[in-house]
Structure 1
Amino acid sequence: MSPASLNFGTVKAGSSKGPKNITVSNPKGSKKKPGLTVVMEGLSGAVSPFSVTNDCDAPLPAGEKCTIGVTFMPTVAQPYSAILTINDNAEHEPQSVKLKGKGKSE
């Protein structure tokens, strides 16, 4: 996966920034099996300011890549962080990407 973290910087509350893309690759010759799903964990607050567009349909064939887009839209002026977790059946799973951003007053 690339990159391992996304920093959206400071964004005015009610505005959005993104999407920023994460590339998921299945190298040729890997022994991956079907089953790529995306789960959000560690979200701050009842409603997450991070939204995900998943273009990764399981299974991801060897040698192929797909993209996950993340958009940040803070609702209040405060720092936010989350972890985007990608569950798969590769070694060292699940894979994770750290997300952070800060909302500022209008």
Structure 2
Amino acid sequence: MQDNIIAEIKQIEEQAELNAKDAVQKAAEIVNEARIAMQKTSKTAYDNAIKKVGEILTEAEKQAAELTQKIVSSGKIETDKLCEKSKQNANNAIDFILKDIII
């Protein structure tokens, strides 16, 4: 069970890393295009491209936050399950001990 949880968390982390790399690459491409556009045309094209970069990076940050929340939620759910299982095991052990004492 723990291996599945760890594998799922690693997969989510890998996806978050890929998303971040893609966003940075897209941002770098747009900044380069903006630089070239500014040299060729106008400052307006450059400003628009920089705005687009901001939007891409904001979206990447949002996705990273969502994936982080997913990791945290997944860990909490599994921790709650393990705690419940521990309680059940403790109750079973107590019942077993009491059964021997009472009989």
Q: What is the TM-score with the length of structure 2 in the denominator? A: 0.22
Q: What is the TM-score with the length of structure 1 in the denominator? A: 0.21
Where is the strand percentage greater, Structure 1 or Structure 2? 1
Greater relative CO (CA pairs within 8 A, separation 6+): 1
Where is the helix percentage greater, Structure 1 or Structure 2? 2
